[in-house]
Structure 1
Amino acid sequence: MSNAEHADTPTYDHGTSAGLTAALRLLGACAIAAWMTGAHAQDYQAPGVEHNMPAFAPALKAKMTFPLAYSPDVKDLAAWRAKARAKVWEATLQQPDDTPFQPQVIAEQDRGSYVAKQVVFNLTGMSRVRALLLVPKGAGPHPAMLMLHDHGGKFDIGKEKMIEPFGAADAAKHASAKAWADKHFSGRWPGDALAARGYVVLCADAVGWGDRGPLTGEAQQALASNFFNLGSSMAGNMALEDVRAAAFLAALPDVDKTRVAALGFSMGAFRAWQVAALSDDVKAVIASNWMATTDGLMVPGSNQLKGSSAFQMMHPGLLRWLDHPDVASLAAPKPALFFAGAEDKLFPVDSVRVAYAKMARVWRAWGAADKFEAHVRPGGHAFPVEAQEQAYDWLDRQFGRAATAR
């Protein structure tokens, strides 16, 4: 190398501060050049939202350990249930309500072996509602069923999805309810079929449905937000109202309060196992087509990620403590019957089976394995007549009734 070439080549004395400074400058320049030439190697998070979930959803899922769920470490089942139930109530954002019901029957209709009634009562201290009530003829007291209607994105009818409405008073509503029964219940109203078996049956509208509408798929998100702005919760209000409806039904003079059950389809199934978990008035539960684990529901392609009905069934923060099957398990050791559809696109069957297995462990822990049944039936999102009859026969057995002639 010539002296000229040598003069053009920088040399550094790393033993001096000036030499060290120069070396750091060179390293910095190299780093900047590497960053500029390799800018495509992204080292920050983008996009931030995928499949309607935050990009960091897996990290959030990893934190969901459900610490209040049943485990074999639980030695005092009653204490565990009380603690977990208290956490559910806390998440509902509701206060206890013991408002007198003050019922009034405003219309009646003879339906053969039973009488249909329109009854008005104080569902809570804030809401006086009109409900449909079916009462068998003959001496009581009778076993009873709290019917809980679904969501379905159909808001013009609520209670009329489960019990046939008074058609002469509103022909359009009757036609709408009949179409719903044809679509999901093999052309009959589940409540009327059960009343014909000798059960008192009650169904009221949730906020947004039937008398308590109008609501739309888009407006329900604003309604949920405004519930929060008012220091409450749409899902929590529904939970409180269902518990109150169960208490009203159990207190009726025609009802045997030791034999009161809850039944629902779809969102109504969610409501049914929830009220069975929260209410001592409910002694048995039948839930069709709403059960799965959170992990199995919060996956790309799942209807759950669309959020359309989420706020009716979401208690803020509860999933930090209990998963859906954990909450349902608070109903143990009451008799419980669950149905799912093998082709139900809303509830992935693998996740359903995981949830059922988790629940079955709790009933076994109570020594009541024979009181829990869960079936995956052929078909999709429906509660067909075959499942209804299976459910009603099962309930008769739980309540010590002889098979009802059909």
Structure 2
Amino acid sequence: MPRAIPSSHRLTAALLAALLATGANAADAPTGVQYEAPGVVDGMPAFSAALKDKLTFPLAWNPQVKDLKAWRDKGRAKVWELTMQERDATPFNAQVLSQQDRGSYVARELVFNLTGMSRVRALLLVPKAAGKHPAALMLHDHGGRFDIGKEKAIEPLNDEVKHASSKGWADKHFTGRWPGDALAKRGYVVLATDAVGWGDRGPLTGEQQQALSANFLNLGSTMAGNMALEDVRAAAFLASLPEVDTKRVAAIGFSMGAFRAWQLAALSDDVTAFVAVSWMATLKGLMVPGSNQLRGGSSYQMLHPGLVKWLDYPDVASLAAPKPGIFFSGETDKLFPVGPTRDAYAKMAKVWAAWGAADKFETHLRPGGHEFPAEVQDQAYDFLDRQFGRAGAAGR
């Protein structure tokens, strides 16, 4: 015996039959009926404005915060949680492969255990002078250039192909000199490693970034979180070297490297100061049509899923307070508009002031674009010298 069709189903069937009989379609919808079409505008969901309105950054500093240390600890714990990483204490077990005399300092190629999963090759510059020295971890940029990573910051050894690429990058962004070598001439120990996908840890292409990011997630990790963990470990390795004064260890970066520098200063107790060039603005100021942040690809390198529900970019950087920190941005930088950059700078300045450390925090909007030229390098390194008690230190 045929089963009875529920009345609700009979009604649906009747409506469908009526529509088919009349040839009705979406264009024949009654006047005044509204629905979302299209659902994507400028690479964002059509309701992106509503999503922005939901972001209140509840863990950001505010004037009601009384216990600054407790606020900082809570924010740092949330960042660590959303990196999806486990802390790593693997012995470094470093081994020097080769070295080269560069006058007042020595350049070394070495390998060490960056994490329990990755043993990597690195470049290290060490002053010849006896004693313990200030140090800096140089964090390379993105730039869509993957054949070199650490070689963007330090002149490479024993590799003519990478040397040519490295020199071209220095000419394009750094006024023809390697930022790491310039700092080593001042008497700093300098370390640089490759992030996953760059240099020895490549090759990566722009198109492969999204797949790599998805595969990190499929494996219970994230691309950005892994990079954050590796940067923390690299800073710990640098601080462990016998030539390094652990009270004077800086993180320095340009572009994506700047993001890494202020993030590292917020997460690592080994880092005692930082320099960030050409990466800072408010999230809402970057999530606008035409922004580089909307392109995917490189954005995955700096995306911790869920973090912006708690903290804006300047809020994360503020977790580094009261450590000395200096920011530079170009007035004509197409990637970071002046307005959102100024807003971020003003937000961070209030946090350093709350710590009573306004004199340890500097921001500079300078003529120029997305670059780290020699004069900015000198200004940044002068800042570090002052903060590290080396005012008047020789060697440029």
TM-score (norm 2): 0.92
Distance 1:389 1:317 in 2: 37
Aligned residues, how many? 371
- Of 250, 269, 274, 2:263 maps to 274
Partner of 2:393: 404
How far residue 41 of structure 1 moved from its aligned partner, in angstroms, is 3.9
- Match of residue 69, structure 2, among 78, 83, 89: 78
Distance 1:180 1:77 in 2: 41
Residue number in structure 1 paired with 2:229: 240
Deviation at 1:404, TM superposition (A): 2.9
Q: Provide Cα deviations, 1:224-260, integer angstroms capped at 9, x if missing partner.
A: 1000000001000000000000000001000000000
Distance change in 2, residues 1:52/1:197 (3 Å): same
Q: Which residue of 2 aligns with 1:126?
A: 117
Work out whether 1:336 is the aligned partner of 2:320. no
Give 2:240's match in structure 1, choosing from 227, 251, 257. 251
Tell me how far apart the structure 2 counterparts of residues 245 and 401 of structure 1 sit (CA, whole Å): 24
How far apart are residue 140 of structure 1 and its match?
Answer: 1.7
**Structure 1 residues 201, 43: closer, same or farther in 2, change over 3 A?**
same
Unaligned runs of 5+ in 1: 1-32
SS at match of 1:202: strand
- 2:109 is the alignment partner of 1:96: no
The one-character-per-residue Cα deviations of 1:319-354 (angstroms, maximum 9, x if unpaired) are: 000000000000000000000000000001100000
- Structure 1 residue 157 and structure 2 residue 148: aligned? yes
Instruction: Give the counterpart letter for 2:153 in structure 1.
Output: M
3-state DSSP class of the match of 2:378?
helix
Cα offsets for 1:143-189 (capped at 9, x unmatched): 000000000000000000000001xx221110001000000000000
Give the deviation of 1:36 after TM superposition.
Answer: 8.5
Q: Does 2:197 align with 1:208?
A: yes
Shift of 1:39: 4.1
RMSD, aligned α-carbons:
1.3
Answering whether residue 350 of structure 2 is matched by residue 361 of structure 1, we say yes
- The residue number in structure 2 matching 1:28 is none
CA gap of 1:113–1:38, structure 2 versus 1, over 3 A, is same
Which residue of structure 2 aligns with residue 109 of structure 1? 100
- Following the alignment from structure 2 to structure 1, what is the Cα–Cα distance between the partners of residues 117 and 131? 31
1:171 and 2:163 are equivalent in the alignment: no
- Aligned pairs for 1:3-402 within 5 A: 39=30, 41-166=32-157, 169-402=158-391
Give the aligned residue type for 2:274: V
Deviations 1:203-228 (A, max 9, x none): 00000000000100000110110000
State the 1:37 CA deviation: 7.3
Unmatched tracts of structure 2, length 5 or more: 1-23
Name the aligned partner's letter for residue 199 of structure 1: Y
Give a deviation string over 1:250-286, Cα, whole Å, max 9, x none.
0100000000000000000000000000000000000
SS of match in other structure, 1:331: coil
What is the CA–CA distance in structure 2 between the aligned matches of 1:170 and 1:226, rounded to whole Å? 31
| Separation in structure 1 between the aligned mates of residue 361 and residue 198 of structure 2, nearest angstrom | 31
Separation in structure 2 between the aligned mates of residue 309 and residue 216 of structure 1, nearest angstrom: 10
Percent of aligned pairs sharing the same letter: 74
CA distance in 1, matches of 2:135, 2:310: 33
AA paired with 2:355? W
Aligned counterpart, 2:6 = none
Matched letter for residue 319 of structure 1 = V
CA distance in structure 2 between the aligned counterparts of 1:50 and 1:37, rounded to whole angstroms: 25
Instruction: State the shift of 1:402 in Å.
Output: 3.1
Query: 1:122: how far off?
Result: 0.3
Taking the aligned partners of 1:214 and 1:350, their CA distance within structure 2 comes to 36
SS at match of 1:129: strand
Larger CA Rg, structure 1 vs 2: 1
Q: What is the alpha-carbon distance in structure 2 between the residues aligned to residue 132 and residue 80 of structure 1?
A: 36
Give the Cα separation in 2 of the matches to 1:364 and 1:306: 35
Aligned to 1:309, what secondary structure does the other structure show? helix
Question: For residues 287 and 36 of structure 1, what CA distance do their matches in structure 2 show?
Answer: 54
